[in-house]
Structure 1
Amino acid sequence: MSTLRIGWIGCGTHANEMLLPQLTRFEARIAALCDVDAGKLAATAARFGVAPADTTPDWRQLLARTDLDAVAIAAGPAAHFEIGMAAVARRLPVFIEKPPAPSAAEARQLAAAAAAAGVPVVVGFMKRYSTANRIAANLIHAGEFGRPASFLGQYMTAPTYFSGDPDYTGFYLHHCVHYFDLVPHLMGEVASVASRRHELAPGKLLLHVDFRFASGGIGTLVVGTHQSRGTPMEWWQVMADHRRVEVRNVHEVRYYRNPPFKFGDAAASLHDGEDTLVWEPNLTAAANEDHKGYFALLADFLAAVRGEPVSVPTAADGARAMALLEQALANQA
């Protein structure tokens, strides 16, 4: 298998701590590196072994190279859209961190361009790829689970995380958008969405998002900026008829079926097919786990670059998530 040559744009904390360390585990190398901040560019190049000659502050110069197999962008919504469009025009496969654009309209434009060019654009919705979420989603989509009837979940953060963002735009685009991809991934097509808002104090926002699904199912998502990041802040549950699956803190899966009561049964035991199943990772071997999902997400991106058939979150999925987010905010009480 030949080593893929990646042009990487964006050398911030997220790229350095979450994305690039995972990329180095594959048959891929950073052939070109770009950031407008000279200090971040030099530090990232030194950390990941990129020669100074292969660094540039100008993404247009990076895209002009003829030795790249793909481009990855982690530089903010406006850059994601502008550079993504240019990369698609160059017919280069693209990985774009979420959100793919500042607005649903621009995200749809990017999706249309990718479809017309036949270029894979993979959006960084890593929530689909978290090991626990993948297990739970596979249970939900299996025939025995039945039609999902409801979604209930919470995905919180702290006021300090978006403290420089008084209108909550960053909270919506960088935090909330994850679940506007994950919820329809689990539950199917969304028929309508609205939200209820409560601002406890400046910088401390609570939203209850109400979903109705084309299947007839319903859902509630709680998101907000008023919880400590030092505590578990993420949990979700999907229920069907006499079945439900839960994911707690992105690492524990519980699958509940319809067991009989155990009292009065002298031979009471646990039975496959009816009693509760629980999965959690071996945290003493953390290098072999993928709690957040970035490793599996990048694996699928690189497979898409090689032309292998993989199911990935596409630019069209990004446009859908952005549209649902905007609808929820527009239909707000």
Structure 2
Amino acid sequence: MTLNIGWIGCGRHATQMLMPQLGRNDLRVAAVCDVNAEAASRAAWQYGAEAVYSDYRDLIAHKGLDAIGMAVGPDLHHAASIEALKRGLPVFLEKPPAKSAAAAAEIAAASEHFGKPVLVGFMKRYSTGNRIAGNYLKGGDFGDVLGISGTYMTAPTYFAGEVDYTGFYLHHCVHYMDLIPWLAGADFADLALRKNEPKPGHLLFHLNFECSNGVIGTVIMGTVQSRGTPMEFLQIMGDHVRLEVDNVINVACYRDPPFKADDPAATLSSSADTLSWTPNFTAAANEDHKGYNALIADVAAALKGDSSSAPDIKDGVRAMTNLERMISLI
């Protein structure tokens, strides 16, 4: 079944990361909207939209739409999603869903009131390595998660001109406010934070946490690294087993093998030695390791009323609540 979707926001992120996945998942771009007329016209040509708008309200009123998608600012996410819900249209929002937890909760209330889903673009759950790790945890062989440590950095140039770090918090840090509880299987219960800020715009902090199920850990985030180098690493600790995800594409599961150096008969054991996976970038395959296509596949299922594990606005409220708790400690 193909759905007609109206899309709000035709910037680089939308047109290069999100919109290419729509047609792959039977979502036809029927209309687009952007205050930048050139960007909107270019997106309409690229994705075959029949109508172009500069006002999101006009797009939402476009006849024949089955759903609304958007990748704009958090204030417009809030206003446009509630307007779409009032018209009976389900919604996909890029993260963050709103500027505050309270505003995200208003979207959640509207979603429940009008009986239409709102899905949120937490694609870190779908990045190849994270998805493999998540599936392995759910499979039962890993056992209980005891601790999680993660590093997720960016550079000061990415948020130039925002030395209050608002953009950094909303567009970067919010990812791990969703991902870590998802991997842990429970929300944050206790948080503590230490920071180092050598100069304005340059921030490094360590966020220590304990989840409500006892999982402990540390998340390291900041704006003091180059975006030209790998900046993301996860380690999930169990009892004599750990999962490591490097740069969202390399996965290793370290188990409990015997020492081999003094064993002349030593070999490799499928039940004890390290399991590892890394993608083959020379393969002629359209692989999406950041996770956008896998996310939109689940979003499309939810928009069609099918069973789906896509993150929804309740996840968005939780992530924004966690983010505000974190910011209060900085």
Query: If the TM-score is normalised by the length of the shorter chain, which range does it land in?
Result: over 0.9
4+ residue segments displaced more than 6 Å:
none
- Which of 233, 236, 246 in structure 2 is aligned with 1:235? 233
**1:288-316 C-alpha deviation (Å, 9 max, x unpaired):** 32210000111111111111101110100
**1:118-142 C-alpha deviation (Å, 9 max, x unpaired):** 2111100000011111100111223
Counterpart residue number, 1:97: 94
Paired with 2:66 and 2:284, the residues of 1 have a C-alpha distance of 31
Counterpart residue number, 2:191: 193
Counterpart residue number, 2:273: 275
The answer to whether the Cα contact below 8 Å between 1:123 and 1:313 also exists between their aligned partners in 2 is: yes
**1:28-50 C-alpha deviation (Å, 9 max, x unpaired):** 21101001111211122222222
The answer to whether the Cα contact below 8 Å between 2:8 and 2:71 also exists between their aligned partners in 1 is: yes
| C-alpha RMSD over aligned residues | 1.3
> Which amino acid in structure 1 is aligned with residue 23 of structure 2?
T
Residue 204 of structure 2 corresponds to residue 206 of structure 1: yes
Counterpart residue number, 1:37: 36
Shift of 1:195: 2.1
When structure 1 is superposed on structure 2, of 115-124 and 70-79 the one drifting more is 115-124
Q: What is the correspondence of 1:104-119 to structure 2 with a 5 Å cutoff?
A: 104-119=101-116
Counterpart residue number, 1:141: 138
Residue 127 of structure 2 corresponds to residue 130 of structure 1: yes
Counterpart residue number, 2:9: 10
Shift of 1:25: 2.1
**1:80-110 C-alpha deviation (Å, 9 max, x unpaired):** 1111111112221111000000001111121
Q: Any gaps of 5 or more consecutive residues in structure 2? A: none
> Which amino acid in structure 2 is aligned with residue 7 of structure 1?
G
> Which amino acid in structure 2 is aligned with residue 66 of structure 1?
K
Paired with 2:226 and 2:162, the residues of 1 have a C-alpha distance of 18
Counterpart residue number, 1:79: 76
**1:145-165 C-alpha deviation (Å, 9 max, x unpaired):** 122111111100111110021
Q: Any gaps of 5 or more consecutive residues in structure 1? A: none
Shift of 1:211: 1.0
> Which amino acid in structure 1 is aligned with residue 117 of structure 2?
P
- Which of 243, 246, 249 in structure 2 is aligned with 1:245? 243
TM-score after normalising by structure 1: 0.96
> Which amino acid in structure 2 is aligned with residue 329 of structure 1?
I
Q: Summarize the Cα distance change of 1:175–1:286 in structure 2 as closer, same or farther, 3 Å threshold.
A: farther
The answer to whether the Cα contact below 8 Å between 1:35 and 1:41 also exists between their aligned partners in 2 is: yes
Q: What is the correspondence of 1:152-167 to structure 2 with a 5 Å cutoff?
A: 152-167=149-164
Equivalent pairs, count: 329
SS at match of 1:145: coil
Q: What percentage of aligned pairs have identical amino acids?
A: 54
Paired with 1:146 and 1:26, the residues of 2 have a C-alpha distance of 34
SS at match of 2:62: coil
Paired with 2:147 and 2:286, the residues of 1 have a C-alpha distance of 32
Counterpart residue number, 1:151: 148
